Amino acid sequence: MTHTRYSGYARALDTAARTATPIAQLTLTEPGLDRAGALEIQRLLMEERYMRGERRIGLKLGLTSVAKMRQVGVNEVIWGRLTDAMLFHDAAELAFSAYIHPRAEPEIAFILKRSLPADASLSETALAIEAVLPAIEIIDSRYENFVFSEADVIADNCSAAAVVLGNPVAPRDVGNLGMVMRLDGRVAQLGSSAAILGHPLRALLRAARLAADAGEPLQPGDIVLAGAAMAAEPLRPGAYVSVEVQDLGRVGFTVSGETP
Ligand code: 0L1
Ligand code: MG
């Protein structure tokens, strides 16, 4: 019975994302939904996407900084899956109409060259990195008004919508790098990678544990988004968004479409 209900919620979230049409929070009809149930709905939601031919390419951590936790009122680190359909590269054009109320946030991404077990140490985690990249995550809650509880957002694959990657650079210390996000050339957010759990490597370690606990340990080639250092900014058609990370370089994208 629960499984059938959960499948229905997963399909509703999938349809909301595909049609860019928001839905009511699941916890309004399922007030007892807990983290385990929400993770099961996320798993079923991703099954829908894999059945359509999408391929899992890694995962994202969410709410790894105080700025992000404050912005959405949820105080726990959360995680979701990334697929090839979400992946864009520097200078990409993203269609505003593909999303409900998209926001962009500055991130650091890792690409792995080794798998990581649940009990990996911090130094093993550092040695598993093939490359680091400046990145921008586009989040898009499938819930009305971008309002949700912790269970709602986990079920919704942690608002994952797209990721724009910059050029990979060789592994280096990313513990305290200046980060700036610009909208149409103006500074919109300014901070340090230290805001990401004190050090983005800790986010990667956390990702390794969460992925292994879910039975899908991180593999060579996987991409991991460490989470945003600063708050997300709403997008609008015509905007040019860029993120510059000290020592890593810059990444940017344009939002196409007409202002509604
Ligand atoms: O940091 C994140 O990627 C969090 C995503 C979920 C919360 C949100 O939609 O802002
Ligand atoms: Mg994020």
Ligand 2 centroid–CA 228 distance in Å is 5
Best of 72, 157, 225 for a ligand 1 pocket test (most atoms within 8 Å of beta carbon): 72
Measured from the alpha carbon of residue 142, the closest ligand is 1
Q: Is 107 helix (H, G, I), strand (E, B) or coil?
A: strand
Name the strands in the sheet holding 240-245, side by side, starting at the edge strand that comes first in the sequence. 92-95, 249-256, 240-245, 178-183, 186-192
Distance of alpha carbon 224 from alpha carbon 151, whole angstroms: 22
Identity of the amino acid at 169 = V
Q: What is the model's pTM?
A: 0.96
**Nearest ligand 1 atom, CA 158:** 6
Ligand 2 centroid–CA 94 distance in Å is 17
46-96 pLDDT tens trace? 999 999 999 999 999 999 888 888 888 888 899 999 999 999 999 999 999
Distance of alpha carbon 35 from alpha carbon 204, whole angstroms: 21
Please give the structure tokens belonging to residue 103.
């926001």
CA dihedral 249, 227, 105, 162 (to 10 degrees): 90
Atom 6 of ligand 1: nearest residue by CA position:
158
Distance of alpha carbon 39 from alpha carbon 35, whole angstroms: 6
Q: Per the structure, how many domains does the chain have?
A: 1
pLDDT at position 73 is: 86
Ligand 2 centroid–CA 206 distance in Å is 14
163: domain range?
A: 3-256
118-137 pLDDT tens trace? 999 999 999 999 999 999 99
Give the CATH number for residue 244: 3.90.850.10
pLDDT at position 2 is: 66
